[in-house]
Amino acid sequence: MVAGLLLPLLFAACGGGGKGKGPSGSSDEEMEYLLEHNARFNDGKTVRWGNLPIRVFANNIASEGEVTEWTRATGGRVTFTFVGSAGGANITFRFGSEGPDICGVSLVTYGSDGEIQSAEVRVVQEIFRGPQCQRTIVHEVGHAIGFLDHSSDGGLMDPDGGNGEFTEPVITMFRNLYALAPGTPVGRAERPQTALRRSGGRYVVTIVDHARR
């Protein structure tokens, strides 16, 4: 966990529901998907980076091309710049020691206003580029920019990375998310039961990505 912060811990889980208004042309189904995979972690309000480009410290772990795949996939809605130290970064990469069956872990800190404050990506050095881990870096960046749990459509954001490809529901979610301001209500949702609120209105969601068996 991020040192020095007394923050609640949210474990990504299934649930949520309800309908809300989104960007022009978006469907109720698209807004429910946004609620399920993002806004339900903030009482039905959007969670995203407030200022772009997002500053990334790759730490000789991630390549710029892996990160900016999300810029291309979202049609330029999500942009990045790269910095030389963790101190100036929004998203930081580092090696972790979570265990031999974990490809990566993302910790996303955000405020009750819906603005992401920081994201830390940990990858297990020995396996994160191995055959048991599907496009770990790209997958973890997806979590770090606002996909706060997992998909189940066989694509990149499935728990094991699926087939490694971007799927239309995921891309549409990000395009809708970054067309709205942080904290925009998109529907009614109950916060996951594992959520614990502490003083200061800050939360952490931790998403663990297991290696394929």
- The 10s digit of each residue's pLDDT in 78-137 is 999 999 999 999 999 999 988 889 999 999 999 999 999 999 999 999 999 999 999 999
1 lies in a domain?
no
Q: Where residue 26 falls among pLDDT bands split at 50, 70, 90? A: confident
13 lies in a domain?
yes
Q: How far apart are CA 47 and CA 75, in angstroms?
A: 19
Residue 55 CB partners (closer than 8 Å, separation 6+)? 80, 81, 82, 83, 88, 89, 90, 91
Residue 148 domain boundaries: 9-210
Q: How far apart are CA 150 and CA 6, in angstroms?
A: 26
The predicted model gives 42-46 an average pLDDT of 94
4 lies in a domain?
no
204 lies in a domain?
yes
Q: Any idea what the CATH number is for the domain that residue 187 is in?
A: 3.40.390.10
Position 200 pLDDT exceeds 60:
yes
Domain count, the chain: 1
